[in-house]
């Protein structure tokens, strides 16, 4: 998925230049000599801790791998080592470092990809973040649990007025206000001064299908860009109006866990485009952003020579007449109580609260030889062996089906056995669109998913993904493997073989990966996210302790 890692070096000015980016920063400096003013990041960093210059560039952390978008060839140039997952990453103009949240800790990232842990934040799961004009790092979990972090004093302050879930995966600061796009394509604006949240509206020109926009970037001139996890890079124009529009300006490899950062004082990078020209859509909010906007406008002809033309966003259609109000028919669909696992049958937002910690395990199955505990083809059987935690589940046409498409982690938990050494296997297919089925296991009870492990198909069925839910019930990505996306109706088989903390993952009978967990043992279940999925069979087999296995 990534190109060969690159190294960083430090220029005499203290600005870090990434190897593998020939001439780009030097060309930018040459443009400055012709009249542009280049922001030089002050730094006291040593050569072992280089900083990033405020130059044109879109950075992303993909799981724990720092990378920079290379729009010319639609790839990423990786930077430094691959760490464990971190998120809510943002570029700080004041010192040229990236900051992010990793496992509840505030970290600082150097230009060479090295990370330094600064403090424990006492909160978990932040994945949305950027620096505001106040100099503070603003982080949240898709809008919920909004906090500011002073990266100098390490003070953490909750902002309850902005703590509303909006399903926005990343935000970026455009002239003093934060913007982000939710998974259904709605643009949100957050005003950290007025403490208000505005749903600007659906962005025309974006795909209809639900998908995360995991990266957001800003550039000089008040330009707003977002990256969809399926790989498309869009510029959002009209973000200050009620009719925002998207124009695709680039592409990148698809990702399953990522976050974006950029220096908002730098021009648009070569290989992309600025579809509405150099005049800013909104007024600059600081002297620095005003200077950057003026410089960008003055040198636009030279800078835009490196742009790649894009198709314009579709024009806004004429509004249709509003229909007369119609009395809604009463619904006969029964809502399922959300036990804190998914979003419930009615697709209401996930409750804005941490999940309970794991419950103690009891009645663990112990066997001397491999023993089938559950085996069903869901043909003419009831669902009495399962507890529905979230979603719209039922047995029909020889399959156990989950039919909701507007949320994540819809779970049906097998309530008959608690296991520690086992094989859990299921065969399933997409009913209508994409296959996002999977397996959950090591769940301590029906009341919490904390500590449970998830293996499922994601990113339109193009990867098998795995990870665990932390002690507050938030998913922590651990890894993935690319596969050929199965067609609608095409059956695939996913399995895990677990011995205590050790996990083996299998797809279509072939081993994909090994994983480990710090929360072994528990119940197993079936999962579907954002898709209708039909489970055709499922088998749970208890296994003996590893030392008891004989040939």
CATH of residue 52: 2.120.10
pLDDT digits (tens, 9 = 90+) for 238-276: 999 999 999 999 999 988 678 999 999 999 999 999 999
CATH number at residue 497: 2.60.120.560
* 315 is a domain residue: no
Q: Are residues 292 and 386 in the same domain?
A: no
pLDDT digits (tens, 9 = 90+) for 87-137: 999 999 999 999 999 888 999 999 999 999 999 997 766 889 999 999 999
Q: What pLDDT score was predicted for residue 374?
A: 95
pLDDT digits (tens, 9 = 90+) for 47-69: 458 999 999 999 999 978 999 99
The answer to whether the CB of 451 falls within 8 A of the CB of 442 is: yes
Please tell me what DSSP assigns to residue 279: S
* 324 is a domain residue: no
Q: Are residues 267 and 398 in the same domain?
A: no
| Nearby residues of 320 by Cβ (< 8 Å), 6 or more positions away | none
* 316 is a domain residue: no
Q: CA neighbours within 13 Å on the CB side: how many for 535?
A: 29
Distances (CA, A) of 348 to 86, 189, 384, 390: 27, 21, 25, 11
Phi/psi at 220 (5° precision): -55, 150
DSSP 377-442: --SS--STTEEE-SS-EEEETTEEEE---SSS-EEEEE-S-BBSEEEEEEEEEESSS---EEEEEE
Q: Are residues 298 and 409 in the same domain?
A: no
Q: Are residues 126 and 243 in the same domain?
A: yes
Q: Are residues 394 and 292 in the same domain?
A: no
Find the mean pLDDT for residues 280-288: 96
- In terms of residue numbers, what domain contains 16? 8-306
pLDDT digits (tens, 9 = 90+) for 23-46: 333 333 333 333 333 333 333 334
Of 433, 425, 432, give the one whose Cα is nearest residue 492. Answer: 425
Q: Are residues 103 and 196 in the same domain?
A: yes
In which residue are the tokens 């509303």 written?
164
* 205 is a domain residue: yes
184-215 burial: b if 16+ Cβ within 10 Å, else e: ebbbbbbebeeeebeebbbbbbbeebbbbbbb
* 465 is a domain residue: yes
Number of domains in the chain: 2
* 30 is a domain residue: yes
pLDDT digits (tens, 9 = 90+) for 214-246: 999 999 999 999 999 889 999 999 999 999 999
* 348 is a domain residue: no
Which H or E run contains 300?
helix 300-303
Average pLDDT of the chain, as a whole number: 83
Boundary (domain end) residue, out of 306, 335, 352: 306
Q: Are residues 133 and 209 in the same domain?
A: yes
Q: Are residues 163 and 267 in the same domain?
A: yes
The answer to whether the CB of 462 falls within 8 A of the CB of 483 is: yes
**Coil, strand or helix at 23:** coil
Boundary (domain end) residue, out of 306, 334, 362: 306
* 184 is a domain residue: yes
Q: Are residues 302 and 381 in the same domain?
A: no
Q: Are residues 300 and 405 in the same domain?
A: no
**Coil, strand or helix at 301:** helix
Q: Distance from first CA to last CA of the chain, Å, rounded?
A: 39
Boundary (domain end) residue, out of 291, 306, 321: 306
Q: Are residues 78 and 175 in the same domain?
A: yes
The C-alpha atoms of residue 303 and residue 431 are separated, in whole angstroms, by: 48
Q: What pLDDT score was predicted for residue 45?
A: 39
Q: What pLDDT score was predicted for residue 354?
A: 65
Q: Are residues 397 and 508 in the same domain?
A: yes
261-293 burial: b if 16+ Cβ within 10 Å, else e: bbbbbbbbbbbbbbbbebebbbebbeebbeebb
């Amino acid at each position: 998925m990534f190109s060969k890692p690159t190294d960083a070096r430090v220029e005499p000015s203290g600005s870090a230049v990434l190897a593998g980016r020939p001439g780009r920063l030097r060309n930018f400096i040459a443009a400055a000599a012709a009249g542009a003013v280049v922001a030089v990041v002050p730094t006291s960093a040593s050569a072992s801790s280089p900083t990033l210059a405020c130059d044109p560039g879109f950075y992303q952390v993909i799981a724990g791998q720092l990378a920079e978008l290379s729009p010319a060839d639609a790839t990423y140039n990786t930077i430094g080592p691959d760490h464990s997952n971190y998120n809510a990453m943002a570029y700080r103009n004041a010192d040229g470092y990236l900051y992010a949240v990793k496992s509840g800790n505030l970290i600082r990232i150097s230009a060479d990809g090295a990370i330094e842990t600064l403090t424990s934040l006492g909160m978990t799961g932040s994945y949305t973040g950027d620096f505001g004009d106040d100099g503070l790092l603003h982080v949240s979990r898709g809008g919920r649990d909004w906090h500011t972090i002073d990266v100098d004093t390490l003070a953490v302050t909750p902002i309850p007025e902005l703590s509303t879930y909006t399903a926005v995966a990343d935000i970026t600061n455009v002239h003093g206000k934060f913007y982000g796009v939710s998974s259904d394509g709605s643009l949100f604006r957050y005003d950290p001064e007025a403490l208000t949240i505005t749903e600007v509206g659906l962005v025309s020109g974006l795909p209809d299908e639900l998908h995360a926009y995991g990266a957001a970037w800003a550039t000089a001139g008040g330009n707003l860009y977002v990256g969809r996890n399926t790989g498309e890079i869009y510029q959002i124009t009209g973000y200050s109006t009620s009719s925002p529009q998207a124009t695709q300006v680039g592409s990148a490899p698809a990702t399953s866990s990522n976050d974006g950062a950029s220096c908002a004082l730098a021009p648009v990078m070569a290989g992309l485009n600025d579809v509405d020209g150099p005049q800013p859509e909104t007024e600059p909010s600081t002297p620095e952003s005003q200077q950057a906007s003026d410089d960008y406008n003055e040198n636009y002809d030279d800078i835009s020579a490196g742009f790649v033309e894009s198709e314009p966003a579709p024009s806004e259609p004429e509004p249709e007449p509003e229909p007369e109000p119609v009395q809604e028919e009463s619904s006969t669909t029964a809502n399922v109580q959300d036990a804190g696992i998914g979003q419930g049958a009615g697709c209401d937002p996930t409750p804005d609260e941490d999940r309970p910690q794991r419950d103690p395990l009891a009645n663990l199955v112990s066997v001397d030889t491999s023993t089938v505990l559950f085996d069903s083809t869901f043909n003419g059987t009831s669902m009495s062996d399962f507890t529905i935690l979230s979603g719209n589940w039922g047995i029909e046409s020889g399959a156990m089906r989950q039919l909701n498409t507007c949320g994540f982690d819809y779970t049906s938990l097998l309530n008959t056995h608690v296991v520690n050494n086992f094989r859990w296997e299921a065969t399933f297919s997409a009913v209508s669109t994409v296959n996002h089925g999977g397996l959950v296991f090591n769940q301590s009870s029906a009341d919490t998913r904390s500590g449970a492990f998830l293996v499922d198909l994601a990113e339109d069925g193009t990867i098998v993904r795995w990870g665990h839910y932390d002690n507050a019930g938030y998913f922590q990505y651990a890894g993935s493997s690319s596969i050929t996306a199965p067609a609608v109706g095409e059956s695939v088989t996913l399995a895990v073989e677990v011995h205590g903390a050790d996990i083996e993952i299998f797809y279509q009978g072939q081993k994909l990966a090994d994983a480990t967990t710090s929360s072994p043992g528990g119940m197993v279940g079936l999962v579907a996210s954002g898709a209708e999925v039909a489970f055709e069979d499922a088998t749970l087999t208890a296994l003996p302790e590893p030392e008891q296995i004989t040939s």
